[in-house]
């Protein structure tokens, strides 16, 4: 029987998270940049669950072959608000459920016992027409989406790109209603740990101190910024820590004026698998128990990380 992820982490085990899914779908030719009516980005990779399910499944399988202990569902922005930007708000449950089914199919196909993390992210931190920005809106969005992820078979809920204290408390509270372990992924925008809200990552960790957070992960920032901020998180959170960086994925400045272009461009620069492993080695030394990759990372990057931690059964 698979041991719970909470028990494994409590026992001091180190686990390997997968790498970027949306960016990897883009690499493989999937259109993940459907535009909203205002010309902005719609639901990013969420629509690939229906448009290109075989490619989504193949990405999961490749990360499993690279040794991932945890794979992440392609449901980052399959919430009603983001899907609503492309006129598909009523398909939240469908897109979210399929994301878990594809991940589960990949696990079965490879014969893995990896955990499936159900991904959720705030729809947008900047007030715009049609965006859910109030605490009540967020609570409804994520209570509903988390329930679908749990019912479909996710092993845990991974909250990603959380970048304000309000988002942290609201999303953790909503996700915890499922009874599944909740991992909180914080996104900061500098080496000081400043969130989008101009609050601190430490403040967000302190705000959820009495809530059931099973792990805190530093995510989607450049590797050197994660290296700088991870010690701060260690000082504020006694539980398991994780880290997974964005290694070269940002908006293409030409994309808004040319809708034939993908919204983001991929440029990993010096962040080769070997170089990324060097960063991750430092994160492990700092006490991280979960390491993986975020945007622009590949199965090759995850394979390089696999060599840093022992492979053990669940």
Own/partner pairs for 130-134, CB < 8 Å, 24+ apart? 130/81, 130/84, 130/85, 131/81, 132/79, 132/80, 132/81
pTM: 0.95
Whole-number pLDDT of residue 133 = 57
Mean pLDDT of 113-142: 78
Report whether pLDDT(201) > 90: yes
In order of 158, 173, 216, 224, 288, the CA distances from 180 in angstroms are: 10, 12, 15, 31, 21
Phi, psi of 197 (to 5 degrees): -75, 0
Strands 70-72 and 249-251, by their bridges, are unpaired
Whole-number pLDDT of residue 62 = 98
Q: Are 298 and 279 in contact (CB under 8 A)?
A: no
Tokens of 208: 């959820």
Whole-number pLDDT of residue 136 = 82
Whole-number pLDDT of residue 312 = 55
Q: What is the mean pLDDT of the chain?
A: 94
pLDDT digit string, tens, across residues 262-294: 999 999 999 999 999 999 999 999 999 999 999
Tokens of 265: 């461009």
Report whether pLDDT(313) > 90: no
Domain locations in the chain? 5-306
Mean pLDDT of 46-68: 98
Report whether pLDDT(67) > 50: yes
Report whether pLDDT(127) > 50: no
Tokens of 311: 């492979």
Who's near 88: CB < 8 A, 6+ residues apart? 43, 47, 95
Mean pLDDT of 256-266: 93
Mean pLDDT of 294-298: 98
pLDDT digit string, tens, across residues 209-245: 999 999 999 999 999 999 999 999 999 999 999 999 9
Whole-number pLDDT of residue 102 = 98
Mean pLDDT of 244-260: 94
Query: How far, in Å, CA of 104 to CA of 89, rounded?
Result: 24
Q: pLDDT class for 124, splitting at 50, 70, 90?
A: confident
Rg (Cα) of the chain, in Å, rounded? 18
Report whether pLDDT(125) > 80: no
Whole-number pLDDT of residue 290 = 98
pLDDT digit string, tens, across residues 44-53: 999 999 999 9
Phi, psi of 122 (to 5 degrees): -55, 140
Whole-number pLDDT of residue 137 = 82
Whole-number pLDDT of residue 138 = 83
Fold of 5-306: TIM Barrel (3.20.20)
């Amino acid at each position: 029987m698979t041991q719970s992820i909470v028990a494994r982490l409590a026992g001091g085990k180190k686990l390997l998270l997968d790498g970027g899914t949306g960016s990897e779908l883009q690499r493989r030719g999937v259109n993940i940049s459907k535009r909203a009516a205002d010309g902005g980005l719609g639901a990013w990779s969420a629509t690939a669950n229906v448009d290109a399910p075989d490619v989504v499944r193949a990405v999961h399988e490749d990360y499993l072959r690279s040794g991932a202990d945890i794979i992440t569902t392609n449901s980052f922005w399959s919430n009603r608000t983001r899907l609503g930007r492309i006129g598909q708000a009523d398909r939240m449950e469908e897109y979210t459920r399929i994301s878990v089914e594809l991940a589960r199919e990949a696990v079965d196909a490879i014969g893995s016992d990896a955990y499936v993390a159900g991904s959720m992210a705030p729809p947008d931190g900047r007030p715009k027409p049609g965006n859910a920005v109030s605490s009540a809106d967020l609570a409804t969005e994520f209570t509903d989406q988390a329930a679908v992820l749990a019912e479909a078979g996710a092993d845990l809920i991974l909250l990603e790109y959380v970048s304000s204290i309000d988002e942290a408390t609201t999303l953790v509270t909503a996700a915890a209603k499922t009874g599944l372990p909740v991992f909180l992924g914080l996104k900061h925008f500098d080496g000081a740990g400043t969130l989008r809200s101009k609050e601190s990552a430490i403040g967000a960790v302190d705000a959820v101190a009495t809530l059931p957070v099973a792990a805190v992960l530093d995510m989607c920032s450049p590797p050197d910024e994660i290296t700088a901020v991870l010690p701060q998180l260690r000082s504020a959170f006694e539980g398991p820590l994780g880290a997974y960086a964005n290694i070269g994925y940002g908006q293409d400045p030409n994309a808004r004026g040319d809708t034939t272009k993908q919204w983001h461009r991929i440029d990993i620069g010096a962040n080769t698998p070997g170089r990324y492993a060097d960063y991750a080695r430092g994160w492990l030394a700092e006490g991280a128990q979960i390491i993986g990759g975020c945007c622009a990372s590949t199965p090759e990057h995850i394979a390089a990380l696999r060599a840093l931690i022992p492979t053990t059964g669940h």
